[in-house]
Amino acid sequence: MIAQTENLNVLGLDPMPSPAEIKAHVPLTEAAAATVVQGRTVLGRILDRQDPRLIVVVGPCSIHDPIAGLDYAKRLKALADELSDTLYIVMRVYFEKPRTTTGWKGFINDPHLDDSFRIVEGMERGRRFLRDVAEIGLPAATEALDPIAPQYYGDLVSWTAIGARTSESQTHREMASGLSTPVGFKNGTDGSLDAAINGILSAAAAHSFLGMNDRGEASIIRTGGNKYGHVVLRGGGGRPNYDSVSVKLAEQALAKSGLRQNLMVDCSHANSWKKPEYQPLVLRDVVHQIREGNSSIIGVMIESFIEAGNQPIPKDLSELRYGCSVTDACVSWETTEEMLRHAHEVLAPVIAARGRG
């Protein structure tokens, strides 16, 4: 008798509907498609320096409650329209959360927040939420963590992040080369830019790798490369990296690698020591740099929700505070409005002058 040599630690192999089946349940609509296409086009134009506005990727650290998430999206859409001459606002819609060890891995993995892991339901509800956001005219940004997930909802995303833990991953660089969106590579958790820069170079090249097609079949994915990779500065190694000296060093590193000097600054994470009350200070510093002539900073990221701070996931989910993050702490909606209106006030003449130039 031949000894068993595989699946020794696997407890089950549950069937998953194909991307095509999930899309059939939650089809792309004409209004949603128009938002996605416009979002990708505008972001590409900003990265190509054909549109002078500043990209603002803003929203909850993670989506755990679609009702509160859509409430936030509607508020953000109104603000985006108000500030659109200077800021191009994209909603942060993160469904997958990388964990250092263990913990809640996001809405797709566990939509009921109770370790029931109803992934099929999470995938379908996540796709529906992205479609709802797109249908109100707001482009969405997300982090690509699972290499299969983009097949299920990538058609509803306008901007993608590759996280600090995965910028060095060959799997994620190959995936990025085939994504239909601009891709921001975060610097490493140690603060080093090498992984992000090498990620951009790798993603810009053609690749062939194993993946899955829309019918759920194992496939060889062949890509042509993604020309819209850029660095996201998120701090690390015990210090922020949004200051003017760090930005200059990042510009030099990009130039040395023959890459366009496109930088996005994450106002959260290590740049704010994970203290949400510091995010406005980071944004003010970045806005000051742009006002003083910096042209490499093309965008910022902000972690923001309806209520400030965060909360643990309680056993009794009725105790959850509405509109408050269950992962990283966020600034409140009121603070978000103050931050973005101040940025608009300071940058409006700068952006207008760029447009005339």
Interval 210-234: pLDDT, tens: 999 999 999 999 999 999 999 999 9
Predicted pLDDT at 355: 81
Instruction: Give me the percent of the chain exceeding a pLDDT of 90.
Output: 96
Res. 99 pLDDT band, cuts 50 70 90: low
Please report whether residue 14 resides in a domain: no
Q: Is residue 236 part of a domain?
A: yes
* Mean residue pLDDT across the chain: 96
Q: What are phi and psi of 176, to 5 degrees?
A: -60, -35
pLDDT digits (tens, 9 = 90+) for 135-182: 999 999 999 999 999 999 999 999 999 999 999 999 999 999 999 999
The domain spanning residue 198 has which CATH number? 3.20.20.70
Assess whether pLDDT exceeds 90 at residue 330: yes
Question: Within the chain, where are the H helices?
Answer: 19-25, 30-47, 66-82, 119-135, 150-153, 170-178, 194-203, 244-256, 279-291, 333-356
Residue 170 lies in a domain: yes
Tell me what pLDDT residue 98 has.
75
Portion of the chain with pLDDT greater than 70, in percent: 99
Q: Which two tokens stand for residue 154?
A: 């990538």
Contact status, residue 110 vs residue 104, Cβ threshold 8 Å: yes
Cα(208)–Cα(230) distance, integer angstroms: 22
Q: What is the mean pLDDT of residues 36-56?
A: 98
Whole-model pTM: value is: 0.97
pLDDT at 357: 66
- From 68, 192, 90, select the one nearest 141 (Cα to Cα): 90
pLDDT bracket for residue 246 (50, 70, 90): very high
pLDDT at 121: 98
CA distances to 5, 104, 179 from 218, in Å? 22, 28, 18
Q: Count of residues for the chain?
A: 357
Q: Above 90 in pLDDT, residue 19? A: yes
pLDDT (tens digit per residue) in 312-323: 999 999 999 999
Which pLDDT value is given to residue 262? 98
DSSP secondary structure string for all residues of 218-248:
EEEEEE---TTEEEEE--BTTB---SHHHHH
Does residue 9 form part of some domain?
no
Model confidence band, residue 97 (pLDDT cutoffs 50, 70, 90): confident
pLDDT (tens digit per residue) in 190-212: 999 999 999 999 999 999 999 99
**Domain span at residue 268?**
19-356
Q: What is the per-residue burial (b if ≥16 Cβ within 10 Å, else e) of 343-352?
A: bbeebeebbe
Residue 241 lies in a domain: yes
Tell me what the mean pLDDT of segment 244-251 comes to: 98
* 356 pLDDT more than 90: no
Q: Write out pLDDT tens, residues 108-123.
A: 999 999 999 999 999 9
Average pLDDT (117-137) is 98
Structural domain count of the chain: 1
Domain-embedded: residue 255: yes
Q: Per the domain annotation, does 95 fall within a domain?
A: yes
In a domain, 43, yes or no: yes
